[in-house]
Structure 1
Amino acid sequence: MSAVDLTGPADPADPAGPDGPITAPLARGRAYWALADCWNIVRRGLTHYRRQPVNIAWQLGFPILSVLLYGYVFGSAMTVPGGGDYKDFLMPGMFVMTMAFGFINTATIVVYDATKGVIDRFRSMPMAPSAVVAGRGVTDLVVACAELAILVLTALAMGWRPDGGWGFLAAFGLLLWLRFALIWLGVWLGLLVPNPEAAGGLFAVAFPLTMISSIFVAPQLMPDWLGWVAAWNPISSTAAATRELFGTPVGGGDSWVEQHALLMAGVWPLVLTAVFLPLAVRRFQRLSR
């Protein structure tokens, strides 16, 4: 007695036919699945922040404490070129410092996932290879937006008021542009350092990078050689550009890079991305070798 075919004849036009569950997802294309995988990585990263609030508390608490320390403790002793309130000079610099320090958190999370085998597990799954790196970048930008929002509320409570009109939107765009560029530095360093403890030592690199800049003091008030180094520091260009967009009356220096702060605030992150994004991708590809 022959077997009875209970499925009936296959209908090529019916998506629920025998080939439907297999061909329908494939028909969506690689771009769809790359975006879906990236979103899953982003959702995973944000879930970790929700379940471990101490991490986000540290990320937000440090810049807030720095604002209060420099604004109220050291502010009365600081000089602003051309006069003006030091808080108006300080706040754009603190926004930049928060974006600059973000690469330490990126490196710490990446090295933790690498040492715990999470990245190897992702690489063994049928997912887009770009999703791990892209998802990390999107997650960090979302967290950066939250950090900026908290800092702005803190600055407003301290009496800071931007006078640049709608230019403040462009200023926040430059801040996130800098953060985007430094994400790839953090990813590369996270894949390079051996353990999370070593990633914590990156603070020793970030601290002088932010101190020798125009975040706290104008370069023209420093010794000539140190002022030249501070002026050509990439984060100094972003700090000067955001002050200009926020309407802070600060006299600029005489060097070319200080006179073209808006231009360099766009160019420096582009250069950093062009250098560290390929390095991060190449290092990620070498993990399985």
Structure 2
Amino acid sequence: MNQQQMTDKIANGLGFIAALDQSGGSTPKALRAYGVSDDEWSGDEEMFGKIHEMRSRVITSPCFASGKVIGAILFEKTMDSEVEGKPTPEALKDRGVVPFLKVDKGLADEANGVQLMNPNPDLDALLAKGKSKGVFGTKMRSVINSANAEGIAANVAQQFEVGRQILASGLMPILEPEVTISAPDRAEAEELVLAEILKGLDALPEGQQVMLKLTIPKKANLYQPLVDHPKTLRVVALSGGFVREEACEELAVNTGMIASFSRALLEELRAQMDDVQFDEALGEAINHIQRASVAG
């Protein structure tokens, strides 16, 4: 796929984006959920080797190339690795799946009810590497824990600031200011997020677009103005701790949002499954999430 084909697929594809980007801090938990215990690996290299085995198994499953998965977000080490002898981004594109790269370096300590992204002085080098390997875009996550107007304004502003840097590199940024689903004032926080994102979109130069990855809102279709905004390529939803059944139910009532799930996509997969069991479980998850993504 060339750049225009990837843009068209992400803008118009009747599917969802798989989040396969667990990084160092979340990888042990993801492996345990997959049925790989801590005593089955030692050190980071073996840990990342185990998670890459899982991701490779997902990517090479026949159902992953069904057309229902239109994109996949990768951790840097996954991008640098191979699937069936090919660089992972190339292996994805061979299956009709647009590759994205997680580029943030984790979260700062909470202040004003939010966690900003840590400084990332090497971002330009990472963007250049990603572009050379054929990725289409990037993803970066910050977190909002309460409806603090000052904190939310700073959080969203940081996302757009780094987003402009990513656009300048020729890649498509996915901005992800995640609202914690357990926040007691979640609905109020989401209203503030909406207002700040609209400001950021309106300030973008004509002809530029970004993507947004957001918590499924408590109020259905709250983010419709973002879906409809001419400077938004696509709005995707994170599962945010919901199990798949609940995440899909919540997503299905939000017109125009599609999934970008990680835990909800992989929650029923186990390393101990044979290939038939694995493909059936993954296929069922893909079908379920794709139906919810196109329901609106």
Higher relative contact order (CA 8 A, sep 6+): 1
Between structure 1 and structure 2, the one with the greater Rg is 1
TM-score, normalized by length of structure 1?
0.27
Question: Higher helix proportion, which one?
Answer: 1
Question: Higher strand proportion, which one?
Answer: 2
TM-score, normalized by length of structure 2?
0.27
